[in-house]
Structure 1
Amino acid sequence: MQQLFQYLCSISPLTPATLRELEGIFCEVALRKHESFVEAGKVAKKFGILEHGILRAYYRTEGGQEYNKHFFRAPCFIGGFSSLVTGEPSPINLQALTDCHIWEADYHSLTKRYDEWPDLERLSRILAEQYFVQKERREVEIVLLNADKRYQIFKNEFPELENLIPQYHIASYLGITPTQLSRIRKMRTKG
């Protein structure tokens, strides 16, 4: 749990009293490869802090086509955040791409402490701001950049993932086919 607290305090300092309070909220969860943390169509109740492993957030069309939205690697917060905030069913799935170790907590157990623990609310605000910036950057990449440039950004942002996850997941994240990804990779090795 000490690593968890160090991670939280690296985002925004938390008082010892807040850390003691959080200790009672979180529990350890092991998620095996291919298991889901969030399932589309269900209302999310819990969020987590990924301590070890890799997950993907993805959408699935009615026809069964999957589109990867994001990859999560430790340490980071994970969850169906729109569902947690609105109480509506989640539009996304979160699936483990490797075995994962997660610190899980009930979302409402956390948020009901905001008035009493303003440092906790500040941490949540900072995280929300970071996610907003990340989401906006990703939207700009998909719309304005070509596939080669998106691939280069992917490699810079997730340098270790290329050898850890299937290539079709990377292609889906980039908004291209696996064949197009193969061509881009081949061109880069020649150049």
Structure 2
Amino acid sequence: MNRLRSYIEAVAPIQEVTWNVVAELFRPQRLVKNEYFALAGRVEHTAAYVAEGILRAFYRDADGLEYTKTFFMADDFVGAFSSLVTGQTNQIYIQALSDCELFIADYPALTRLYDTHPDWERFARKLAEGYFVFKEQRELELALLNADERYLRFRAEYPGLEQHIAQYHVASYLGITPTQLSRIRAKIFARA
């Protein structure tokens, strides 16, 4: 829990009284590799802080092809945010790519604190703003960068991650096939 508090304080300082209330809402949970944190087709109610591990958010098309949307690692908040915020059916899957240590909380309980703890609401706003900026940058990368540039950006953004996850997850995140990723890697590493 100390790590969670340090993360919150780094985003937006909160008062001791707020921390005491917030801390009561989180409980530890382990996910084993390949276990799901969120499933498409249901309304999600849980958000979590990732203390350790790697998760991916992805969706499947009608043919069953998977498209990786993002990765969550230590010091990230994870959740099916569209479902959490709107109360609508979730459309993404969130799966552990490694064993994970999480601190989970009921999302509606967290948001009920906004009216009584403005410092918590400020934290949530800053967190949401950070995710919004990340999402916008990701959309720009997919639209404006070629596959080589996207791969290099991925490596800079997630240093060392590709040594811990399957290459087809990396390819899916980049919007290319695993074969294309192999060619890009061979070309880049041949230059190094």
Decide: shared fold, TM above 0.5. Answer: yes
Any idea what SS the aligned residue of 1:165 has?
A: coil
Moved runs in structure 1, 4+ residues, more than 6 A?
A: none
Alignment partner of 2:25: what SS? Answer: coil
1:4 paired residue number: 4
Structure 1 CA distance for aligned equivalents of residues 47 and 56 of structure 2: 15
Distance 2:21 2:131 in 1: 25
Q: Find out whether 1:171 has 2:191 as its counterpart.
A: no
- Map 1:64-143 onto structure 2 (within 5 A): 64-143=64-143
1:43 offset after TM fit, Å? 0.4
The code of the aligned residue for 2:105 comes to A
Letter in 1 for 2:113: R
Give the distance between the partners of 1:62 and 1:73, measured in 2 at CA: 28
Q: Give SS of 2:122's match.
A: helix
Aligned residue for 1:24, secondary structure, equals helix
Tell me how far 1:91 sits from its aligned partner.
1.0
Which runs of 5 or more structure 1 residues have no equivalent in the other structure? none
> C-alpha distance in 1, partners of 2:149/2:3?
35
Superposition TM-score, scaled by structure 2 size: 0.98
What's the RMSD between the two structures over aligned residues? Answer: 0.6
Partners of 2:119 and 2:160 in 1: how far apart?
33
Which amino acid counterpart does residue 167 of structure 1 have in structure 2?
A: Q
Which residues of structure 2 form unaligned runs of 5+?
Answer: none
SS of structure 2 residue aligned to 1:17: helix
The answer to whether the aligner puts 1:38 opposite 2:38 as a matched pair is yes
The alignment covers a number of residue pairs equal to: 191
Distance 1:20 1:172 in 2: 40
For residue 17 of structure 1, what is the aligned residue in structure 2?
17
- Between the two proteins, what is the percent identity of the paired residues? 50
TM-score (norm 1): 0.99
Alpha-carbon distance between aligned partners in 2 of 1:190 and 1:48, rounded to the nearest angstrom: 40
**Distance (whole Å) between structure 2 residues aligned to residue 102 and residue 124 of structure 1:** 18
* 1:59 positional shift: 0.5
Q: Distance in 1 between matches of 2:72 and 2:160?
A: 12
Paired letter, 1:166: A
Q: Deviations over 1:127-173 (max 9, x none)?
A: 11101100000000001110000000000001111110000000000
Deviation, structure 1 residue 113:
1.1
